[in-house]
Structure 1
Amino acid sequence: MKHTKRLYGTLIFLFAFLVFAFFYTGHTEKVAKNKIPKVGVLQLMSHPALDQINKGLDDTLKKHGYINGKNIKIEFQNAQGDQSNLRTISKQFVEDNVDVAVGIATPSVQSLKNATSSIPIVMGAVTDPKGFGIIPSNTKPGGNITGVSDQAPLESQLKLIKQIMPDLKTLGIVYTSSDMSATTEMKAMKKLAEKNNIQVKVSSISNVNDLQQVATNLSENSQAIFVPTDNTVASGMKLLSSIAGKQNVPVFPAATTMVKDGGLATIGLSQYELGQKTGDDVIKILRGKGKPATMPVTFIKKGHLILNEKKAKELNIQFPDSLVKKAQKEGKIIK
């Protein structure tokens, strides 16, 4: 009898324990499911190209059901081009324990990398991640960083310049000396142009305050000016275009958004699409469908043809009919 009572007591205890464990586990799973993920977005500065990347990111998150303040917390910070701000914000993201950190532009990613080796980081447009030492491999990053490259289709861009200006002999290039992406593209375009028997005149700036003098000098000594993917020059694109325009010198930018600000034409990547691809990576990580270590960097191969018809009229330049038709069919014409 004693053994029977003891057995019943043991069974009752086990049943109670299992019931408690079931409900406790269910509760913790519910808490985990209800956890609102946090995404920190660090943008280097404000100008149309970087703003479009951020918009593409936001729209992609919304498209997949992530509504800021409802089921996701997006902490957006703009460093205003200041290195100390980059460091402070990166440190804050780590202290806030964000689930994913997004760096828009190379300096933002570098700052986030210096701040954490554990929190997933998604690059929102870095020209050459492996070459810049951000990751050991573009196909197998191997750490906590992956994302999207904004490497411009330089060969297509030079071909476009030659189509519009078949007698081009001198090409000026302006870039920011501290911008790794701009420096990389400057060197590549210089090499391509010289292979095509085009003399290249290169000028660098330290900040946007240098742009007026450099633009004036290049405009007086070049038939056209090329601008690589450069955040600082992009912020002063209207000034550059205005100065060059006084000498009837067209400006060919790498970024599509810079055409609207006074560039003549480009075959460039869509910054909005770069933001969309960045958002795709963020979603994969948040949903546990991918880890940065095994997620290859995304390279967008196809550029978009953008022609600024208004600027062409100002410069007395006639676009070839074939380019106009192509832009009408699969690109964009700014009038």
Structure 2
Amino acid sequence: MAPSPACHRGQVASAHGKRNVRMRRREFMTLLCGSALYPLTARAQQSRIRRIGYLDYGAGILPSGGFAPFHDNYRRKPFLEGLRESGWVEGQNVTIDRRFAAGQADRLPALAAELVALNVDALLAAATPAAKAAQNATKRIPIVMADPGDAVHLGFVSSLARPGGNITGVTSLAPEVAAKRIALLKEAFPKTARVAVLWNSAIPPAELALNELRAAAPMLGIDLQFVEVTGPPGFADAFAAITRDSADGLFVFPDPLTFGNRESIVGFANKNSIPAMFGAREFVEVGGLMSYGSDYPAMFRRAGNYVGRILNGESPAELPIEQPTKFELIINLKTARAFGFDIAPTLLARTDEVIE
């Protein structure tokens, strides 16, 4: 709720006669009445509990009914923190209706329609499929996307600077990041010649990222093997394809499916002595070798802040799509030693964080 303006008491004595005294008194009373009415108006505007729809392509609820730890720590809590920055607290002045597709993209249109039918005041759409479902479900309700991919190329907004419609958001993409990731992998392991690129075909990597990889690979002396996976059952076939084609490097696009299966991906790479570059630190925290990327919890915090600002009256059309400005290189030296990965010392010297 907007803070009430202070009512300052002041002297109204005049050195210029009664007429001026009366004028100043009228001015004072007008100001005083306006000050009194302002907080009443603000309270009236926020007396209604606001409602947010939260649509997530991934999984967030345990069979027991509680929040899954990964979603709770890396998505839900940062999102709520961002809301609080704009003055909104779940359970006090805002409620959140959550829907999770658990990696099943075909469920998203119905889930988005449910949230629209609830007449929520704003929608948060996590990941590209959720953002597309939300976009198709409403042109009226403001939508904030978290990690939508290439928002312009995918048709979500007309431009990053001025989205122009009912959609805005925060993305993990920035120019040349994909190329930088495989360049760092090559620098860490100069003999790398064939890199498998593991990606979720339900969330195609942004065309910008794919073009960057294709352009950078020849200059780095690398052949790329694109390996699609459509859901948890598909990882066994993906791992077999990577092994069969003798990839000596692995790059994993971060998305809800790979996040949710990061332990098995990390385990496969380490067990087969394949140096792996991941797009987020969450993979390194469970034993992955190295990552280069932005801060995903910070992205959800910023998305929460955007939702709060929209509830406060700002228009999504005027809120630019935010891109990350800081990327961190993180290396798990404990994993490197345990599985015999000999990382180039020059790269270790430039690492932002080393896990030992």
TM-score, normalised by the number of residues in structure 1: 0.83
State the Cα deviation string for residues 183-237 of structure 1 (Å, max 9, x = none).
7634532332223221122221222212122213313511111112333233222
**Closer, same or farther: CA 115–178 of 1 in aligned 2, 3 Å:** same
Residues 212 and 239 of structure 1 are in contact (CA less than 8 Å); yes or no, is this contact kept in structure 2? no
Provide the secondary structure at the position in 2 that maps to 1:146. Answer: strand
Tell me what 1:310 maps to. Answer: 334
Work out the CA distance in 2 between the residues paired with 1:35 and 1:149. 31
Amino acid at match of 2:105: Q
Amino acid at match of 1:245: N
Provide the secondary structure at the position in 1 that maps to 2:317. Answer: helix
TM-superposed deviation, 1:64: 4.1
TM-superposed deviation, 1:270: 0.7
Residues 186 and 220 of structure 2 are in contact (CA less than 8 Å); yes or no, is this contact kept in structure 1? no
Provide the secondary structure at the position in 1 that maps to 2:205. Answer: helix
Work out the CA distance in 1 between the residues paired with 2:262 and 2:41. 53
Work out the CA distance in 2 between the residues paired with 1:183 and 1:215. 24
Matched, 1:234 2:247: no
**TM alignment of 1:1-335, pairs within 5 A:** 30-46=43-59, 48=70, 52-151=74-173, 153-181=177-205, 185-220=209-244, 221-288=246-313, 290-327=314-351, 331-335=352-356
Amino acid at match of 1:37: R
Q: Unmatched 5+ residue regions in structure 2?
A: 1-36, 61-69
Residues 194 and 200 of structure 1 are in contact (CA less than 8 Å); yes or no, is this contact kept in structure 2? no
Between the two proteins, the alignment pairs up a number of residues equal to 309
TM-score, normalised by the number of residues in structure 2: 0.78
Residues 78 and 300 of structure 2 are in contact (CA less than 8 Å); yes or no, is this contact kept in structure 1? yes
TM-superposed deviation, 1:322: 4.7
Tell me what 2:9 maps to. Answer: none
**Closer, same or farther: CA 120–25 of 1 in aligned 2, 3 Å:** same
Farther-moved stretch of structure 1 (163-172 vs 242-251): 242-251
**Closer, same or farther: CA 30–200 of 1 in aligned 2, 3 Å:** closer
Provide the secondary structure at the position in 2 that maps to 1:272. Answer: helix
Tell me what 2:17 maps to. Answer: none
Aligned residues: percent identity?
Answer: 24
Work out the CA distance in 2 between the residues paired with 1:314 and 1:141. 47
Work out the CA distance in 1 between the residues paired with 2:297 and 2:309. 19
Work out the CA distance in 2 between the residues paired with 1:320 and 1:195. 19
TM-superposed deviation, 1:31: 3.2
Q: Unmatched 5+ residue regions in structure 1?
A: 1-23
TM-superposed deviation, 1:97: 1.3
**Closer, same or farther: CA 64–275 of 1 in aligned 2, 3 Å:** same
**Closer, same or farther: CA 209–187 of 1 in aligned 2, 3 Å:** farther
Tell me what 2:65 maps to. Answer: none
Residues 88 and 308 of structure 2 are in contact (CA less than 8 Å); yes or no, is this contact kept in structure 1? no
Work out the CA distance in 2 between the residues paired with 1:44 and 1:230. 9
Work out the CA distance in 2 between the residues paired with 1:83 and 1:51. 23
Tell me what 1:6 maps to. Answer: none
Higher helix share: 1
TM-superposed deviation, 1:265: 0.6
Amino acid at match of 1:311: T
Provide the secondary structure at the position in 2 that maps to 1:299. Answer: coil
**Closer, same or farther: CA 50–109 of 1 in aligned 2, 3 Å:** farther
